[in-house]
Chain A
Amino acid sequence: MISQDLNDRITRIGPDAPAGAVLRRYWQPAALAEELAQGDQVAVNLLGERLVLTRNDAKDLVLATRVATPDEPPAFYPDAKDIAIDPQGPVYPVENRKGLYFAYMGPGTPPDFPNFDCFRAPDSHVFAFKGLWECNWLQALEIGIDPAHASFLHRFLEDEDTSEGYGKQFRDKAAHTDMPMTQILREYPRPDIDVQETEFGLKITALRNLDNGLTHVRVTNQIFPEAICIPMSREMTITQWHVPIDDKNCYWYTMFTSFQNPVNKALMREQRLKEHRLPDYAPLKNRANDYHYDPAEQASATYTGMGLDINVHDQWAVEGMGCIQDRTQEHLGRSDAAIIRYRRMLRAAITALESGEGDLPMLNDPLASGIVGPLSNDAITNSDDWQNASQQADMARRAACPWDATV
């Protein structure tokens, strides 16, 4: 449990709120490139501000302030012809990375981009998408640094054919075995969780001791301040930001990054458009329709009764907490080790900004652009050799990669 005052400090993102000030020191995903398909005038609702992606006099894309009424819905997308730029409002720089537009809304010079795999891979190997969640950004992030929940929330009571799992989370075989990931998660629900602070955030290792002297090693990452990098399949990773629209709504933005083959973007997009509407990328299964909850399915097929899309399970979990999770009522356990560690980092960053003393992760490092990786994979190995095995699996994948993924 934490105090209401502390919960406010780590969740609220207005320009004068401490956590908002931290987020503003980093590049924020603002829009998908595909949102500009109809023209260069697209509404953006970001960090409590009503903005528009537009071209300035020099024909560069920038994020400008747009005229808005106070009663606009949080994820509001007026037609381009109805958007008026507010010349009094701030204008922010924008950069495109692999189909995703990032904006810098903080003071001073924007930081360098780290050299993560999602930014290094060629366009052909990265697919970006987004989706709306109606809750505060922090609870959306925290589910992504909680390795235990996958054994329950995403439990499939029966395994699917892994050869049909392209483009979906947890549908591949685990490492080099014939066990589907869904089986590992279901049968070994009490991972040991090792959390290490890194130059970019946290390295989170979930260890599931299998019965035969083998250990399943799953490495995921927290990238400060509000992203994660996790394995999706043996071929792809997910780098996902949880970006505030305001205090009570957020977008997830994901860069799916493939090591070996180009991403089948048409298929990935089609899979996700079936689950979302445009232009606000709101999920079709949502709180208003009980996420299509089916008690019979919950009894026989999935843990939630909300279908096979794990995004919907996560969305239910975080939206059900309320707009801003009431952390004065929570009881964290050992499975929450990474969440506890992350909140400590966020509080340290808030204190550093307020006091003017101390550095924020990646920002004051002249070599930030040299930060590579992160290691993000599944491996199965002899239990006493798990650290080495995870490293070896990562190096092998990078060595076989057609683009420069060396670390």
Chain B
Amino acid sequence: MRSNQLLETDGTSGPEQFDDTSLWVVVAQSAALDIPRPVLPVTLNGQRLVLFRDDDGQLGLIGRNCPHRGADLCFGRLEDNGLRCPFHGWHFDRTGQCVEQPAEPVGSQMYQQIKVPMIAVVERGGVILAYVGKGQPQTEMLHKKGGTL
């Protein structure tokens, strides 16, 4: 799937609102997701990711390959408040947590152990920023400034 040019980032741009702008990089314009199916491929420092907006209006930025057998989640079904892999129906929420494996036996709990890598994102002033620092971002600070995680 073709990447939006804006999504290729060198990690140097960032908004002034954050104390340490080097930890947040623009990965998309919010307008790029104003489409019937808001799903975009994102490459961040060489890592292949998929950005989507779920039914709650919240953003998810997660690993692009399904953790089952590696299918490309950029072609996933955006439904049930998450992204569903078309290969076997494994369903992921915006944190990358697998929440359903509809081909596995009834009662299987395997899905609880499956999680796709997730990158924290915030949406500010018409741009979507991803956290590229180590560890977890300082969420309290971001919430105070009106960001969403």
Contacts and interface: CB of A to CB of B under 8 A. Distances in A.
Decide if A and B are genuine partners.
Answer: yes
Interface of A: 139, 142, 148-149, 151-153, 189-192, 290-291, 293, 295-296, 298-299, 303-306, 313, 316-317, 320-322, 325-326, 329-336
B65 A321 contact: yes
Contacts of A316: 72, 75
Nearest to A318: B71
A147 B1 CA distance: 27
A371 B103 CA distance: 33
A151 B36 contact: no
A320 B88 contact: no
Interface in B94-122: 101-106, 108, 110, 113-114
A322 B70 contact: yes
A322 B69 CA distance: 11
Given A298-B77, A329-B67, A190 B106 contact: yes
A287 B148 CA distance: 34
A138 B86 CA distance: 20
A81 B22 CA distance: 59
A31 to B, nearest CB: 30
Contacts of A333: 68, 101, 103-104, 108, 110
Contacts of B37: 295, 298-299
B2 interface: yes
A220 B67 CA distance: 26
A334 B107 CA distance: 12
B87 interface: yes
B48 to A, nearest CB: 9
A200 B67 CA distance: 31
A303 B77 CA distance: 8
Contact of A335 (B70, B86, B104, B114): B104
B104 A334 contact: yes
Nearest to A298: B77
A321 B103 contact: no
Interface residues of B, number: 27
Given A321-B70, A331-B113, 15 more contacts: A149-B88, A152-B103, A190-B103, A191-B103, A293-B75, A313-B86, A316-B72, A320-B71, A321-B72, A322-B65, A322-B70, A330-B69, A333-B101, A333-B108, A336-B69
B36 A335 contact: no
Contact of B89 (A139, A152, A299, A334): A152
Contacts of A148: 88, 103
5 contacts: A152-B88, A317-B71, A332-B68, A333-B68, A334-B105
A313 B39 CA distance: 19
Given A298-B77, A330-B69, A331-B68, A189 B102 contact: yes
A222 B68 CA distance: 21
Nearest to A288: B2
A190 B104 CA distance: 6
Interface string B35-77: 0110000000000000000000000000001011111100101
